[in-house]
Amino acid sequence: MLHSRLILAATATFASAIACADEPFTITSVMIDEMEYRSVKQGDDPVSWSAAVAVNRGKHSLWFVSEGEHSFGDLGGHELLGFYSYATSSGWNLNAGWRGDSKPEPGKDWALLGIDGELPGSIGVAGTAYFASGGEVAFRLEMERTFIPASNWFLTPELRADFYGQNMSESGRGSGLSTLEFAARLGYRWSDNVNTYIGAVWGTAFGTTRDYLEAEGEDSSTTQYLMGISFSL
C-alpha cells in the first residue's frame, strides 16, 4: 500500500543518513508549542496541546508530534505524527511519514508527503498531502506570521485549512474545503525557552462537513478564548 511504502522509505532514508553522515546524532529539541486552556460557549472547557520531539543529524531530521484536545475525561481529538524531514539548500524542508488519527472515531492511518518553509515577508507556510489505504486523500495548508510589537512581546496570527477528496460520513468530514481555523496569540517571552500568551481561535466548517455537524446538533462555527504556555527543553 502507498502509505506503508512511504513510511518505509522515510525510515530507510533516515537510517541511511544516520549511518553515513559525519555530523553527530542529537536530540535537537523537545517542545511544547502549545499547552492551552480554552473557554467555549457550550460544554466543558477543553485543554489542548501540541508537542514535538526532533532528532537531527545534519540535514536529516526525524520528528514525533502529538496534537490533541482533552475535556474532563473525553479525548476530543488527537493526531500522532512521525515523519522524516530533509532540509534543502534553499531553506525548505521536505517531509514524508505517517499520521494517525485516534479522534474523531473511527481512527485512521494516513501516509503524508509535505513541504514547509518561509515565504517572503517571514510568513511560515506548510502544505501536506495525506493518503489513506481506502483511497482517501486529504490536504492541509498552514500559515503563520510572528510580529514583535515591543521588546519580548509577540503577536502570532495562524491559519489552517483542511481539504478532503471525498465524503467520509463515519468521521464527519466532507469533500472539498472541510474546515478553516484562524487563531491569534499575543504573548510575552520570559526567556529563550518559556512564553506565556492569551488569544482566540475561530473555526468554521463548510459544505458537507457543516451538514454532518448540524445533523449531530453541533455548532458548525465556534469561537474559543484561550490562555497558554509554550516551552522547550
* Residue 207 three-state SS: helix
Q: Which residue has the higher pLDDT, 173 or 28?
A: 173
β 176-189/93-103 pair status:
unpaired
How confident is the model at residue 172, as a pLDDT?
A: 86
β 194-205/176-189 pair status:
antiparallel
The partner residues of 82 in beta bridges, in order of sequence, read 64, 98
**Nearest to residue 95, comparing CAs of 174, 27, 149, 14?**
14
How confident is the model at residue 216, as a pLDDT?
A: 86
pLDDT tens per residue across span 156-194: 999 999 999 999 988 889 999 999 999 999 999 999 999
C-alpha cell at 83: 515523519
The Cα–Cα gap between 15 and 3 comes to 18
The total domain count for the chain is 1
pLDDT interval class at 77 (50, 70, 90): confident
pLDDT tens per residue across span 93-136: 999 999 998 866 677 899 999 999 999 999 999 999 999 988 89
The Cα–Cα gap between 10 and 205 comes to 33
Residues 158, 183 contacting (CB under 8 angstroms)? yes
Q: Which residue has the higher pLDDT, 157 or 28?
A: 157
The partner residues of 209 in beta bridges, in order of sequence, read none
> What is the chain's mean pLDDT, rounded?
88
C-alpha cell at 5: 511504502
Residues 96, 112 contacting (CB under 8 angstroms)? yes
Whole-number percent of the chain with pLDDT over 70:
85
pLDDT interval class at 57 (50, 70, 90): confident
The Cα–Cα gap between 97 and 112 comes to 5
Residues 114, 128 contacting (CB under 8 angstroms)? yes
How confident is the model at residue 104, as a pLDDT?
A: 67
How confident is the model at residue 136, as a pLDDT?
A: 92
Question: Tell me, what CATH number does 45's domain have?
Answer: 2.40.160.40
Could you tell me where the DSSP H helices lie in the chain?
2-20, 207-215
The Cα–Cα gap between 168 and 166 comes to 6
User: Mean pLDDT throughout 21-36?
Assistant: 78
C-alpha cell at 190: 520570559
Whole-number percent of the chain with pLDDT over 90:
66
The Cα–Cα gap between 152 and 197 comes to 12
What's the domain range around 176?
2-232
